[in-house]
Amino acid sequence: MSLFSNKDVLPVNGQPVWYALQVWSRKESTVLSQLQCQGYECFLPTYKSRRQWSDRVKELEQPLFPGYLFSRFDFQNRRGLVMTPGVIQIVGNGKSPLPVAAEEIERLQIAVASESARQPWPYIEVGQKVRVNQGSLRGVEGILINIKGSHRVVLSVSLLQRSVAVEVDLSWVTAIEKEKRQPVVPESVRVPVTSY
């Protein structure tokens, strides 16, 4: 029995959903161009990296998630996409594809459009969650970190278990309060309360 139902791959509000595509590493841009030529909506988040050779230093655009890109499409019409040279698979669990949350893609698109310094980052699930209130990243939520005196907001793609760190000014962010949950105590452990 599959853990996923058909609703996981159906369009939301008539819009196709986003999926992560595993593609040939170092061929992400080529695969992106091929898919866009076929009419697929794609997104390849990148960052600038400085590489030094013996005779020069060059700034390169590198994928934030090497070996992956994102595409929004109707899953029922995926044949042309998966037959494209360089596409390995639609990321999922076994034969069940898993969509990427639209909010996660939207946060990445805002971060890339902001032109703020960014870099790949190890996936983080715990930490102080913040919301950016100013600048081109306004409204983006992520986890606040500090690297060598500069603050960054880490944005995560849960399905890939990968993250991106985007530089921010500390005065631009505010903490998001975590829900306070009462621990659930089994009845066998509960102590009756008596009044004296």
State yes or no: pLDDT of 185 exceeds 50.
Answer: no
Cα dihedral across residues 171, 103, 92, 43: positive or negative: negative
**DSSP labels, 130-153:** EEE-SGGGTT-EEEEEEETTEEEE
Strand boundaries in the chain, DSSP class E: 17-23, 41-43, 46-52, 57-63, 68-73, 87-90, 92-93, 96-97, 99-100, 118-121, 129-132, 141-147, 150-157, 162-168, 173-175
State yes or no: pLDDT of 162 exceeds 50.
Answer: yes
State yes or no: pLDDT of 71 exceeds 90.
Answer: yes
pLDDT class of 149 with cuts at 50, 70, 90? confident
Cα dihedral across residues 8, 81, 74, 20: positive or negative: positive
pLDDT class of 11 with cuts at 50, 70, 90? low
Residue/partner pairs of 6-10 with CB below 8 Å, 24 or more apart:
8/96, 8/97, 8/98, 8/99, 9/75, 9/97, 9/99, 10/75
Mean pLDDT for all residues in the chain: 84
The pLDDT assigned to 190 comes to 45
Cα–Cα distance for residue pair 75/177, rounded to 1 Å: 37
Query: How many angstroms separate the first and last alpha carbons of the chain?
Result: 55
For the segment 68-96, the average pLDDT, to the nearest whole number, is 95
State yes or no: pLDDT of 136 exceeds 70.
Answer: yes
Same fold, 12-100 and 101-177: no
Locate the domains of the chain by residue range: 12-100, 101-177
Percent of the chain with pLDDT over 70: 82
The CATH classification of domain 101-177, taken from the options 2.70.98, 3.10.450, 3.40.50, 2.30.30: 2.30.30
For the segment 154-166, the average pLDDT, to the nearest whole number, is 93
The pLDDT assigned to 181 comes to 46
CATH code for the structural domain at 12-100: 3.30.70.940
pLDDT class of 174 with cuts at 50, 70, 90? confident
Alpha helix (H) ranges present in the chain? 28-37, 79-82, 102-113
State yes or no: pLDDT of 7 exceeds 80.
Answer: no
State yes or no: pLDDT of 111 exceeds 80.
Answer: yes
The pLDDT assigned to 178 comes to 60
For the record, the structure tokens of 169 come out as 């000014």
